[in-house]
């Protein structure tokens, strides 16, 4: 897995389903640069088992992200038609009806590849097209992208391991705290706690208090 932290998030334009059912053709994260932080998360496949639990979990905390000015965007290698169909199914039937944040259709697998979360055997042909020798799906990658379009945090889980949405919120809080106060966040830091200065004295003072 490649490390994107500290680098510009790969740019892309792809179809997506927004607002729970509206299909758009050229969705891009570029629209948020200079305005919002973004949580971009990949999931393996529509109409599966762990995946709807994650999509509903992010939806249930959407207000928490929005009040922090953060945009949530999901992505899988399914088509926009597949996303749309899944969004019409109720939660009781295994669907994701009620999810309102954008879901990108990475049908060509190039976005997952650019973020280095693509699972499967593949290569590129002489024309630069991705050629797969088996089913191509995404690992459970999550990327926190700042307002400048730079990746500040990433985590990648294997397929059976669902993510902790509260941890994603904690990382947003940590990023916004460091940018506002110029201090760093120690282990297990939570919003409302003090940070520490990035110096030997700062560490010593923090450890003495904790």
Q: What is the spatial distance between Cα 201 and Cα 164, in angstroms, rounded to a whole number? A: 33
How many whole angstroms separate alpha carbon 4 and alpha carbon 149?
Answer: 11
C-alpha R_g of the chain:
18
Residues catalogued as catalytic: 51
What tokens appear for 35 in the block? Answer: 């305005």
Note whether 47 and 86 are within 8 A (CB).
Answer: yes
Distance of alpha carbon 50 from alpha carbon 162, whole angstroms: 6
Q: How many residues does the chain have?
A: 210
CA 200 – CA 210 distance, rounded (Å): 15
Closest by CA to 156, choosing from 196, 116, 200, is 116
Task: Give how far Cα 110 sits from Cα of 93, 104, 140, 143, Å.
Answer: 31, 12, 16, 16
């Amino acid at each position: 897995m490649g490390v994107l932290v500290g680098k510009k998030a790969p740019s892309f334009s792809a179809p997506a389903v927004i607002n729970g059912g509206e299909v758009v053709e050229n969705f891009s994260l570029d629209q948020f640069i200079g305005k919002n932080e973004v949580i971009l998360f990949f999931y393996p496949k529509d109409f599966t088992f762990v995946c709807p639990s994650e999509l509903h979990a992010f939806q249930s905390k959407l207000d928490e992200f929005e009040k922090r000015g953060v945009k949530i965007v999901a992505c899988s290698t399914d088509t926009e038609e597949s996303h749309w169909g899944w969004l019409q199914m109720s939660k009781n039937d295994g669907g994701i009806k009620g999810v309102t944040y954008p879901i990108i259709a990475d049908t060509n697998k190039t976005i997952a590849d650019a973020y280095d979360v693509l699972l499967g055997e593949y290569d590129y042909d002489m024309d630069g097209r991705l050629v797969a020798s088996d089913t191509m799906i995404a690992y459970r990658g999550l990327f926190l992208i700042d307002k400048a379009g730079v990746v500040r945090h990433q985590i990648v889980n294997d397929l059976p391991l669902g993510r902790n949405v509260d941890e994603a919120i904690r990382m947003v809080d940590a990023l916004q705290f460091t940018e506002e106060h110029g201090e760093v966040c120690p282990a297990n830091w939570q919003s409302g706690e003090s940070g520490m200065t990035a110096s030997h004295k700062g560490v010593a003072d923090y450890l003495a208090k904790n």
